[in-house]
């Protein structure tokens, strides 16, 4: 998700309901990772408020005050992992210290649905555009690498995202990749892009190469 869901569209449950439907479970177990925000209490409370109103069993997995000794058991016991926004670089560093990066890869291979917005979207790719290192946007080159190429979230939501991403790809600083607007999401099966959906009309995704960008048709969930 380039952006959207409960944290950006609290009165629009379309995206979050769609994510739950991907699990195929009647009452899916969903786990929220708020690592990128430093496990911000208010963010976690907003997650519970949103998903307690939906047919699911919500929980979160804190790492700054870690409570669960067996991360693998927690993650592999879920139907859906939902990664929140924040500082992508810091999140990846914390995940790697705790070994959660390897656990998430195992969960992906086991068929657990992995999702997220902003940092929670960028993290799955090889590389992308981030504001993790300061106000200015910069390349991030050490994503989890579950999905090949680069990625840019918030493509229409922040004025500098689109020109920065296009320039980084044009100059070879980042490989070609995929960009996603706020309120739009890409669904992958393995590493294959299956579809793009949106929770507001007009939001979509884009293939970006050194030659320019190409829009990908999006299905509106409303």
Q: What are the catalytic residues? A: 118, 154
| Residue-by-residue pLDDT tens, the chain, 222 positions | 999 999 999 999 999 999 999 999 999 999 999 999 999 999 999 999 999 999 999 999 999 999 999 999 999 999 999 999 999 999 999 999 999 999 999 999 999 999 999 999 999 999 999 999 998 999 999 999 999 999 999 999 999 999 999 999 999 999 999 999 999 999 999 999 999 999 999 999 999 999 999 999 999 999
CB atoms inside a 10 Å sphere around CB 64: 11
Closest CA to 182 of 163, 149, 204, 165: 204
Query: What residues are paired with 81 via a beta bridge?
Result: 31, 114
Closest CA to 131 of 170, 100, 159: 159
Per-residue H/E/C for the chain: CCECHHHCCCCCCHHHHHHHHCCCCCCCEEEEECHHHCCCHHHHHHHHHHHCCCCCEEEECCCCCCCCCCHHHHHHCCCEEEECCCCHHHHHHHHHHHCHHHHHHHHHHHCCEEEECCHHHHCCEEEEEECCCCCCCEEECCCCCCEEEEEECCCCCCCCHHHHHHHHHHCCCCCCEEEECCCEEEEEECCEEEEEEECCCCCCEEEEECCEEEEECCEECC
CATH numbers and ranges of domains, the chain: 5-220 (3.40.50.880)
- The answer to pTM > 0.85 is yes
- Cα–Cα distance for residue pair 126/151, rounded to 1 Å: 8
CB atoms inside a 10 Å sphere around CB 36: 27
């Amino acid at each position: 998700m380039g952006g959207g869901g409960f944290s950006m569209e609290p009165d629009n449950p379309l995206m979050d309901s769609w994510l739950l439907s991907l699990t195929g479970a009647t009452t899916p177990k969903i786990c929220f990772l708020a690592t990128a925000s430093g496990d911000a209490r208010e963010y976690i409370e907003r997650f519970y408020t949103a998903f307690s109103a939906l047919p699911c069993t919500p929980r979160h997995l804190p790492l700054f005050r870690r409570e669960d000794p067996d991360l693998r058991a927690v993650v592999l016991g879920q139907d859906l992992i939902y990664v929140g926004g924040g500082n992508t670089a810091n999140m990846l560093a914390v995940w790697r210290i705790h070994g959660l990066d390897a656990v998430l890869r195992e969960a992906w291979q086991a068929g657990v649905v992995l999702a997220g917005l902003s940092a929670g979207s960028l993290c799955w790719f090889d590389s992308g555009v981030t504001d993790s290192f300061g106000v200015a946007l910069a390349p991030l080159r050490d994503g989890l690498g579950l999905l090949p190429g680069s990625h840019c979230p918030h493509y229409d939501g922040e004025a500098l995202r689109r020109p920065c991403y296009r320039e980084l790809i044009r100059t070879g600083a980042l490989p070609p990749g995929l960009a996603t607007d706020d309120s739009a999401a890409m669904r992958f099966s393995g590493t294959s892009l299956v579809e793009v959906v949106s929770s507001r009309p007009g939001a979509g995704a884009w293939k970006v190469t050194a030659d320019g960008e190409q829009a990908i048709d999006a299905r509106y969930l409303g």
